[in-house]
Amino acid sequence: MRPAFIRTLIELARSDDRIHLLVGDLGFGLIEPYAQEFPNRFLNVGVAEQNLAGIAAGMAMCGKIVFTYSIANFPTLRCVEQIRNDICHHNADVKIVSAGCGLNYGALGVTHHATEDVAIMRALPGMTVVAPGDPVEAEFATCALAQQTGPAYLRLGKAGEPLVHKRGSGNFRLGKAIKVRDGDDLTLIATGTMLYSAVQAADRLCRDGIHARVLSMHTIKPLDDEAVLAAAKETRCILALEEHSVLGGLGSAVAELLAESCESQVAFKRLGIPNAFSRRVGNQEYLKSLYSLDVNGILKTVAALLDAVRVRQ
């Protein structure tokens, strides 16, 4: 997703001289093409994320469209106060880009696990929160956020994520889920890096005669209420999938909507990282398997959820 982001940002910057990129002394090997082509619209502020947010806010207040970029927690958790007071309070046109979401940097330990960022960004007034599911969605999301005025958070993986959508497919809209698979037995609502796993799980379920709807909920705030409520009405149960804490992210957003809906009585479960720091060290796939966020874990969770629905019926 990172290469898709920087490639798209370069294309946008060629036609809009308001676009600037600020980094926190990270991203080398990725950002050089942008910095070389637009040296006057690029700034490395160093390892000083509070300054990163503050400078970006000031530039945005002068009419610039500013993208800030760093790894995992650094452009978000280290500078929440500046994001809240300088960016969101002034509705500044700053797009905060975080790479290596969730457990991408698993081997570096909990300091590099971005597992609470969506919850925090989602709580900030005026903040749009977007987590693309593949490089195609990352390209569209970058374009859409550049065109939308106001604060936004773009949550990316690292690189090499599999394509779910065909190149050039044009059904991406902020705040509108993409129906990747249709089905009436259950719905898998996935965001970010969980989308490909959700599609794989749906394919496996189909072999057993279970038809799973797969929604790519690339925009977590604002949530696509219509798509969620349709799934609640048309399928027997819903499973939310996210490489993030079960508290405050996609699962919480869906649960809040379902709880406040007078019509919905669908069975629902959140699948994510539990309310604890990971004490294990390993690569992303290993850590995801520990929390049932791999395909086998999703299938086991689906089986238990469908069994519970049958018992209740």
The residue written with tokens 């500078």 in the block is 79
Query: What's the whole-model pTM score?
Result: 0.96
Question: Tell me, what's the pLDDT at 262?
Answer: 83
Work out the burial of residue 159: count CB atoms within 10 Å of its CB; fewer than 13 is exposed, 13-18 middle, 19 or more buried.
Answer: middle
Confidence of residue 158 (pLDDT cuts 50, 70, 90): confident
Topology, domain 2-155: Rossmann fold (3.40.50)
For residue 170, is pLDDT > 80? no
Closest listed residue to residue 101, CA positions, set 81, 127, 82, 129? 129
Counting residues of the chain whose pLDDT is more than 70, the rounded percentage is: 99
What does the pLDDT look like over 207-238, one tens digit per residue?
A: 999 999 999 999 999 999 999 999 999 999 99
What separation in angstroms does the CA of 38 have from each of 7, 13, 41, 100, 249? 13, 8, 5, 25, 35
The one-letter code for the residue type at 167 is R
Average pLDDT over every residue of 39-52: 97
Residue predicted with more confidence, 310 or 217:
217
**pLDDT band, residue 174 (cuts 50/70/90):** very high
What does the pLDDT read at residue 145? 98
Q: Where do the domains of the chain lie?
A: 2-155, 178-312
Say if residue 102's pLDDT is above 70: yes
- Three-state DSSP at 149 gives coil
- Domain 178-312, what architecture? 3-Layer(aba) Sandwich (3.40)
What is the pLDDT confidence band of residue 112, given thresholds at 50, 70 and 90? very high
Instruction: Note whether 2-155 and 178-312 share their fold.
Output: yes
Answer yes or no: is pLDDT of 279 > 90.
Answer: no
**Residue 313, pLDDT score:** 66
- Give the chain's mean pLDDT: 95
Query: According to the model, what pLDDT value does residue 27 have?
Result: 84
- Selected residue with higher pLDDT from 75 and 27: 75
